[in-house]
Amino acid sequence: MKKTNGAKPFAPIKLEPAYRKVATALLDRITARTINAGERLPPEIELARQFGVHRGTVREALRELETNGVLKRERGSKLMMVTRPHRGTVAAGVSRALALHDVTYHDIWEALTALEPPIATAAARNRGPKDLKHLDALVAADPTVEQTAAFFRAVGEATHNGVFMLAHEPLVELLVPSLKAMINKVPQAAGRIGTAQKRIVAAIRERDGTQAGEWMAKHIRDFRRGFELANIGLQQAVGSA
């Protein structure tokens, strides 16, 4: 047997399907803004000629980008148009990935603790009249799982900060099954949620970022307390309770 020099072995070369390479090339152009939102791509047959691949390969690449929300086909047109992925589309993908990695209720609580108070503070600083109107309409309704998720989204939108809105949307998506596991088992939960929401909105209205952040932090602490009262282990994976 021949001796080796002890060097680390080479990793296998990853072979990607041709359609994935076409999709990556198109996405690189879109991300670099050399193809902007609202612009139409050339016809499939022309793209196939440029890439030197079969038309079916291009069609598969376009289908993948359309599924990811990067492209869409307008009614009455055969051409794909570049678009911006909706926050919900991005969040749904991230939420699925987090769920598949067995994130726990504690993980959700810890992430909300780190992110939501600064978002509430920014909302108090940046909110506009439409944001207040939206928040007022939400807190006028009885707290439910869906209403609570909508409230978090509305506070995020009031920041007018795209990074905040995209960053917390996956958490909001996972908040829904988390709350469903707890809210019906704790009779006082709805009342406490409603009180916290009203306090947060009052602080946002007064542009009091400190109070908005502090009340949001209390709100998130109550979230954890609710799980303790419902005898739900925080180390359980989301959806397993």
For the chain, which residues make up each domain, given as ranges? Answer: 18-82, 87-229
pLDDT score of 161: 94
Torsion, Cα 154 229 186 97, to 10 degrees, reads: 40
pLDDT score of 5: 62
pLDDT score of 98: 60
CATH number of 87-229: 1.20.120.530
Fold of 18-82: Arc Repressor Mutant, subunit A (1.10.10)
Segments of the chain scoring below 70 in pLDDT: 1-6, 85-101, 239-241
pLDDT score of 3: 55
> 42-53: b or e for each residue (b if 16 or more CB lie within 10 Å)?
eebeebbeebeb
Interacting residues of 101 by C-beta distance below 8 A, sequence separation 6+: none
Q: What is the pLDDT of residues 80-127, one digit of tens each?
A: 999 876 666 665 665 566 655 577 878 888 888 999 999 999 999 999
